[in-house]
C-alpha cells in the first residue's frame, strides 16, 4: 500500500470528536478507526496490538539492538469539532506549481499562496486537499500514517531500533487525550519519553506550551427601582465593566503573539442583580502566569473594598501547564529529534505552542513528550491540506530518530 492510499483509507472514517456526548471515546467513528488500525498494525508485524476499554490503541515492538531504551510514538485518531469530517472528498495534486488551488467552484473557495504563504514552499510537492466542504483530517491522521509508515519500514528492512510503544489516542481535540492514557503500560515497558506527531511543518519541534487557567468572576448587585436608587443601587453589570477595564487592555488574544500571554474574556452573562465573567488566562512564563492570577484576585479585593461589601467572588482553576521546565531537565529527548532532522537535511525550528498539547500532561506524568510535525497545514477547517512529499521525509526522520536512540 502506498502512503497516499494509507492516508486516504484513514480519512474515510468520520472520527470527529464531540465534547457533549459524555461517552469514552466521545464518538463511535473513533472506535471503528481504532479497530481498523489494530488490523493494520497486526499486518505489518505487531501481533500484540490491541485496543483498551477506552478506545486507545497500543502496540509494542521489542528492540533489535542492545539498547533497553523505549520510545513512545503517539498520534490522535479524532478530528476537530470545529468542522465536519464526514464524507471527506480528498483531491491528490501532484507536482504543485505554486498557483491558486480551486477547492470548490460553487462555494468559490480557493486555496491561495497569497492568503496561505506556506504554499510557496510547496512547489513540486504532492499535496492532498479537500473539496472545501469538510476538513481533511491530516490533523492527526497524517501523524498515524507517519508512525505506521516508519514502523513498517523498520520491521521490513530490519533497521536498528530501540523498544517502541505505539499509541493512538481518541478525543485529543476535546482535551481528553491524556485522561485515560495508560501510563502503566508505558511504565511496564520502562518508557520515559515519547513524541506526539501532531504538529504542522516538519522542521518544527514544540516543547513549550501555555500555562492555562480559567477564571469565573461572579458579581452580585443590588436591584432597586431606578427612580429611587440614589445611594442604594449597585448595578452588577457596571461593576463587571469596571472589573474588565482594570485588566491590562493590551493583553488579549487579538493583540498578542509568540510568548506573550493574555486574559481572554470568553463569555459574559448579566443583569443588574448578578453578572458573571468567564476568562481564560494563558502565559508561557510561569511567574507571569501566577501574576496574572494574582491580579484577578487584587482587582476583586479592590472592588470589594471600594463598594464596602463582598460583591465580587472569584473562582480560578488551573487547566494545564507548560512542559518546558520539565523537558529542559531531559535535553536528550530534544537532542534526538534535532539530530534526526539535521541528518535528513532539515534545520530544526523551535516554535512555542499558543495552546495546549496532549504531550504536556503526559510529560507531567513522567513521560517527556515534545511534539513533532506531521506535514499538514491549516488544521481544523476546509483549507486544511497535507504535504505528502514532506510526510515521506518525516517518515525518514522518525526512522533516523529511532536509530539515533540505539547509538
Ligand atoms: Zn492534532
| CATH code where residue 354 lies | 3.40.630.10
pLDDT of residue 353: 93
Is residue 300 predicted with pLDDT exceeding 90? yes
Are 286 and 268 found together in one domain? yes
Res 308: pLDDT? 86
- How confident is residue 117, by pLDDT bands cut at 50, 70 and 90? very high
Domain end residue (candidates: 289, 320, 351)? 320
Specify burial of residue 222 (Cβ count, 10 A radius: 0-12, 13-18, 19+): middle
Distance 379 CA to ligand 1 centre (A): 8
Question: How far, in Å, is the centroid of ligand 1 from the Cα of 260?
Answer: 22
Pair 161, 37 in one domain: yes
> Is 78 noted as a catalytic residue in this protein?
yes
Ligand 1 center to 199 CA (angstroms): 7
Cis peptide before 361 (omega within 30 of 0): no
Of the residues 14, 40, 78, 176, which is catalytic?
Answer: 78
* Domain co-membership, 150 together with 292: no
14, 131, 172, 361: which one is catalytic? 172
- The pLDDT value recorded for residue 175 is 87
Same domain as 125, residue 62: yes
Task: Estimate to the nearest angstrom the gap between the alpha carbon of 188 and the chain centroid.
Answer: 26
- Which residue in 375, 329, 380 sits closest to 125, CA to CA? 375
Q: What CATH number has the domain bearing residue 232?
A: 3.30.70.360
pLDDT at residue 1 tops 90:
no
Give yes or no: 171 in active site: no
CB-proximal residues (5 Å) to ion ligand 1? 139-140, 198
| CA pair distance 391, 168, nearest whole angstrom | 18
User: Would you say how long the chain is, in residues?
Assistant: 407
SS3 breakdown of the chain: % helix, strand, coil, rounded to 5?
A: 35, 25, 45
CA of 279 relative to ligand 1 center, distance in Å: 24
Based on the domain organization, do 81 and 155 belong to the same domain? yes
Q: What is the mean pLDDT of residues 19-39?
A: 96
CA dihedral 60, 149, 170, 35 (to 10 degrees): -80
200 and 329 together in one domain:
yes
Q: What is the DSSP string of 261-295?
A: -EEEEEEEEE-SSEEEEEEEEEESSHHHHHHHHHH
- Domain endpoint, select from 320, 353, 379: 320
Residue recorded with cell 499562496: 113
Distance 358 CA to ligand 1 centre (A): 9
Residues 310 and 296 placed together within one structural domain of the fold: yes
Average pLDDT over residues 218-242: 96
What's the gap in Å between 102 CA and the centre of ligand 1? 25
* Sheet of strand 57-61, all strands in order from the earlier edge strand to the far edge: 50-51, 57-61, 163-169, 70-76, 191-199, 371-373, 204-206, 349-350
Domain-ending residue, one of 270, 294, 320: 320
pLDDT tops 90 at residue 232: yes
Q: Are residues 290 and 393 in the same domain?
A: no
Is the pLDDT assigned to residue 356 strictly greater than 90?
no
151 and 16 part of one domain:
yes
Provide the number of structural domains found in the chain: 2
User: Would you state the cell numbers that stand for residue 268, as one nine-digit string?
Assistant: 459574559
DSSP structure string for 75-135: EE--B-TTS--SS---EEE-S--SS-EEEETTTTEEE-TTTSGGGGGGTT--EEE--SSS-
Q: Is 150 left (phi over 0), alpha (psi -120 to 50) or beta?
A: alpha
Give the tens place of pLDDT for each residue, 393-405: 999 999 999 999 9
Q: Are residues 170 and 310 in the same domain?
A: no
CA 200 to centroid of ligand 1, rounded, Å: 9
CA of 187 to the centre of ligand 1 (A): 25
User: Domain check: are 108 and 175 in the same one?
Assistant: yes
Is residue 185 within 8 Å of residue 245, measured between CB atoms? no
Average pLDDT over every residue of 379-385: 96
Q: What is the pLDDT of residues 327-346, one digit of tens each?
A: 999 999 999 999 999 999 99
pLDDT tens string 137-178: 999 999 999 999 999 999 999 999 999 999 999 999 998 999
What's the mean pLDDT in 88-93?
Answer: 98
Q: Domain containing 308: what range?
A: 211-320
Q: What is the mean pLDDT of residues 23-38?
A: 97
301 and 316 co-located in one domain: yes
Amino acid at each position: 500500500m502506498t502512503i497516499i492510499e494509507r492516508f486516504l483509507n484513514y480519512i474515510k472514517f468520520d472520527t470527529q470528536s464531540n465534547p457533549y456526548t459524555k461517552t469514552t471515546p466521545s464518538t463511535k467513528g473513533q472506535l471503528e478507526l481504532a479497530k481498523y488500525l489494530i488490523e493494520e498494525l497486526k499486518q505489518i508485524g505487531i501481533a500484540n496490538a490491541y485496543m483498551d476499554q477506552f478506545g486507545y490503541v497500543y502496540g509494542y515492538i521489542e528492540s533489535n539492538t542492545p539498547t533497553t531504551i523505549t520510545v513512545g510514538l503517539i498520534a490522535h485518531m479524532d478530528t476537530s469539532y470545529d468542522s465536519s469530517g464526514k464524507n471527506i472528498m480528498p483531491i491528490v495534486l501532484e507536482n504543485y506549481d505554486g498557483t491558486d488551488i480551486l477547492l470548490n467552484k460553487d462555494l468559490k473557495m480557493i486555496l491561495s499562496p497569497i492568503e496561505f504563504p506556506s504554499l510557496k514552499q510547496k512547489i513540486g510537492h504532492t499535496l492532498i486537499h479537500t473539496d472545501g466542504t469538510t476538513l481533511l483530517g491530516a490533523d492527526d491522521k497524517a501523524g498515524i500514517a507517519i508512525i505506521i509508515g516508519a514502523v513498517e519500514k523498520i520491521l521490513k528492512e530490519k533497521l536498528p531500533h530501540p523498544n517502541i510503544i505505539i499509541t493512538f489516542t481518541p478525543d485529543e481535540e476535546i482535551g481528553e487525550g491524556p485522561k485515560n492514557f495508560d501510563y502503566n503500560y508505558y511504565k511496564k515497558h520502562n518508557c520515559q519519553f515519547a513524541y506526539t506527531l501532531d504538529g504542522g511543518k516538519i522542521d518544527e519541534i514544540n516543547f513549550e506550551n501555555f500555562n492555562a487557567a480559567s477564571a469565573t468572576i461572579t458579581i452580585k448587585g443590588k436591584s432597586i427601582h431606578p427612580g429611587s436608587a440614589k445611594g442604594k443601587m449597585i448595578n452588577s453589570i457596571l461593576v463587571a465593566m469596571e472589573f474588565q477595564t482594570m485588566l491590562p487592555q493590551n493583553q488579549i488574544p487579538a493583540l498578542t503573539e509568540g510568548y506573550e500571554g493574555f486574559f481572554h474574556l470568553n463569555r459574559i452573562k448579566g443583569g443588574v442583580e448578578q453578572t458573571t465573567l468567564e476568562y481564560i488566562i494563558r502565559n508561557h512564563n510561569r511567574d507571569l502566569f501566577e501574576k496574572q492570577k494574582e491580579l484577578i484576585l487584587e482587582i476583586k479585593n479592590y472592588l470589594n473594598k471600594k463598594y464596602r461589601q463582598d460583591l465580587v467572588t472569584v473562582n480560578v482553576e488551573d487547566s494545564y501547564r507548560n512542559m518546558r521546565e520539565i523537558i529542559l531537565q531531559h535535553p536528550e529527548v530534544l537532542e534526538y529529534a534535532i539530530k534526526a532532522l539535521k541528518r535528513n537535511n532539515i534545520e530544526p525550528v523551535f516554535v512555542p505552542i499558543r495552546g495546549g498539547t496532549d504531550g504536556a500532561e503526559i510529560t507531567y506524568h513522567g513521560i517527556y513528550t515534545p511534539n513533532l510535525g506531521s506535514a499538514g497545514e491549516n488544521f481544523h477547517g476546509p483549507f486544511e491540506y497535507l504535504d505528502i512529499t514532506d510526510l515521506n521525509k518525516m517518515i525518514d526522520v522518525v526512522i533516523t530518530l529511532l536509530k539515533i536512540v540505539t547509538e
